[in-house]
Structure 1
C-alpha cells in the first residue's frame, strides 16, 4: 500500500476530537482499519472516523463530505454520510494535522471480501440495485477522478507497466483481455455518478442463518462521474460465475449497460486485478480480491 504521510494514531485523533468535537472526545476509540488512503477508527458504539493518512486522500474526504448527502437518498443501502466534519489544525489548539476528516455512522456488517465467493450469491441482485440507482447523470460540478470512469486508453500505460513487473500471473492472457476491451466502442453517454472503488472490501454484509444480506456500501472517496463500466468491474472482483450472471442480467435492464459497456467493464476488471496484485503485498484482503478477480476474468476471457 502507499506509504502513510501522517501517522494517524488514537492519541492524535482524540486530540482532534477534544479540540473540535469535545462532546465526543471521551468515547472509546480504537483503530479498526488502515487502508490505502484513510485510517478508520471506531468511536463509541455508533460512530466511526475517516482520517486521511496521505495528502491524496484529503480531496477524497472532502468529496464524501460534499456529495454523500446528495447521493444517499437515492441509494437502497446504507452509506457513511458524515455526521460531523473536522478541519485541518495548525497545532495552536489541539494537535497539528493538515487535512479535513469525518465522523460517520458505524455501519454494521463484515467486509464481503472476508466471505468465500460462493456464499455471495445473495448479494448479486441487491448490489445491482445499488449500482443502477447510483448510475444517474452527474452535474457539471461533480468530482472528476483521473483513475476511474475515464476511457480505458488513459490507463493503458499503467496497465502495461504493472503486467511488465512479472508479478501478475498469466499476464499475457490478462493483456489480451485488456486489448480486446480497448477495442470496444468508447462510452459516448453522459457522465454518470460512480462509486469509483466498488470491490468486496468496500461492501458490508450481515449473516442471517447462513444467508448474506448487503448492509452497506462504504468508502466513497473515489466518487466521480464518467463511464459506468469501471464500477461494473465488481462483477468479476466480487462474484463467481453464477452470481455474476444474476448481477449482469439485473444491471442490464438499464439502457446504458449494453454489450460494449460490459466489454469495457471486463477490461476495467483486468486493470484492477493488475493493480491489486502488484500493490497489495501488505494488504492480504486486497491481494486475495486480486487473485479471485484474476481467476474470474480469465474464465470469462
Structure 2
C-alpha cells in the first residue's frame, strides 16, 4: 500500500492529474491494480491497458474493467456507480454493471463488467448508408427507452435544472474562447442565443447519458449486419429535463449532416414534435453552443462542409438538415 499512496497524490492539481494519467507506463498502475484485484477477489490474470477516454482504464482477462479516476473529476466515477444502480438491467442494450468501487488516496476506482463487441468508432466511417441507418434507428429506440425509465424522486443523479442551465449559459463564451473557436463566431453567440426562444425544460425528469457517440457505443456483427451491443461511459450522465440535450450528440457525431440519418434518428425516437423544423433546428443549435465540454472546432470537423460557415444560422443548416 505504501507504493500506491506515494504514487497517487491525494490532492493533485489538474495538470498533475493529467500527467499521471497520460505519461505513466502500465507498470506504474500495477500496485494499485493488484490491490484492487486482491481486495475484491477478482480472478487471477493479467491487466491490459485500454487507451480510451480521459481516465485510466484496464481490462482483466476480458472479464472486468477497472476505471481509475483522479480526485479532480471524481464525479465521473461516481456517476458510473450511480447510473448502474439506477439502470439495473432495465434496458434492451447492455450497459456496464458496477461490481465494486472504492478509493485509494482520494482516487476513485470502479470495477465493472466488460461488455461485448467492438467500438463503433472503429468501423463507423467504413459502413454503408444502410448499415448506418440501422444503427441510428436502433440508437433512437434505445434513447426513447432510456428516457422512459421510471426514476425515484430522490435519485442522486438528479441535478437542479435551473441552476444547471444557468451554469451552462455562464460557461458558454469562456469555453468557446478557450477552445479556440473563430473570434467572429464567438462574438455572434450571445446575439444568436438572444434571438431564440430557448425551451430547455421538457417538464419531466429523464435519464440523460450525454455522450452517445461512436466512441461510447459497442457493436457486434450478426447475419452480415452490425448491431449495437453495448453502451459505455456514464461518467457525464445526469437526470435532467431536456430530450434535445441527449439527441444532439448522436445527431452531430453519427448523423454528421446526413439528412436521412437525422430523419431516421428522430423517427425512431418518436417523442418530438418535428412540425416546426426551423424552430427545432435553432433549438438544437442553441443547445449545441451551450452543451458542457463541447469543443466546437471538433464538432465542425465531424460534419462535411457544404457551404459558408460565417454565422450560426449557416452552421445550423449544415449540422441539422431537418
Q: Which sections of structure 2, spanning at least 5 residues, go unmatched?
A: 1-13, 306-314
Give the structure 2 partner of residue 51 of structure 1. 68
Match of 2:301 in 1: 291
Match of 2:244 in 1: 229
Per the alignment, do residues 83 and 219 of structure 1 end up closer, same or farther by CA in structure 2, a change over 3 Å counting?
same
Structure 2 CA distance for aligned equivalents of residues 46 and 189 of structure 1? 40
Q: How far apart in 2 are the matches of 1:149 and 1:262?
A: 24
Deviations 1:22-42 (A, max 9, x none): 243741112112423x22112
Residue 222 of structure 2 is aligned to residue 205 of structure 1? no
Aligned partners of 1:11, 1:276: CA distance in 2, in Å?
A: 32
| 1:15 aligned onto 2:31 | yes
Task: Give 3-state SS (helix, strand or coil) of 2:68's partner.
Answer: strand
Q: In structure 2, which of residues 122, 134, 139 is the aligned counterpart of residue 127 of structure 1?
A: 139
- Shift of the 126–98 alpha-carbon distance from structure 1 to 2, 3 Å rule, reads same
Query: Is it true that 1:268 corresponds to 2:287 in the alignment?
Result: yes
Give me the whole-angstrom Cα distance separating, in 1, the residues matched to 2:259 and 2:316.
10
CA distance in 2, matches of 1:27, 1:129: 38
Map of 1:158 onto structure 2? 171
Provide structure 1 residue ranges, at least 5 long, that are not aligned to the other structure: 90-96, 279-286
Counterpart for residue 108 of structure 2: 100
Aligned-partner Cα distance in 2 for 1:206–1:177: 45
Q: What is the RMSD computed on CA atoms of the aligned residues?
A: 3.7
Q: Is this contact kept in 1: 2:140–2:265, CA < 8 A?
A: yes
Partner residue of 2:49?
31
Task: Provide TM-score, normalisation by structure 2.
Answer: 0.71
Quote the offset at 1:238 in angstroms. Answer: 1.7
**Corresponding residue SS for 1:120:** helix
Q: TM-score, normalised by structure 1?
A: 0.75
Kindly tell me the number of residue pairs found equivalent between the two proteins: 279
| Contact 1:111/1:202, CA 8 A, preserved across alignment | yes
- Which residue pairs with 1:168 in the alignment? 181
Q: Deviations over 1:122-165 (max 9, x none)?
A: 211111111111113642333246899943x5423433334446
CA 214–64 in structure 1, closer or farther in 2 if over 3 Å, else same = same
Structure 1 pair 127/173, CA: closer, same or farther in 2 (3 Å)?
farther
The reply to whether residue 42 of structure 1 matches residue 59 of structure 2 is: yes
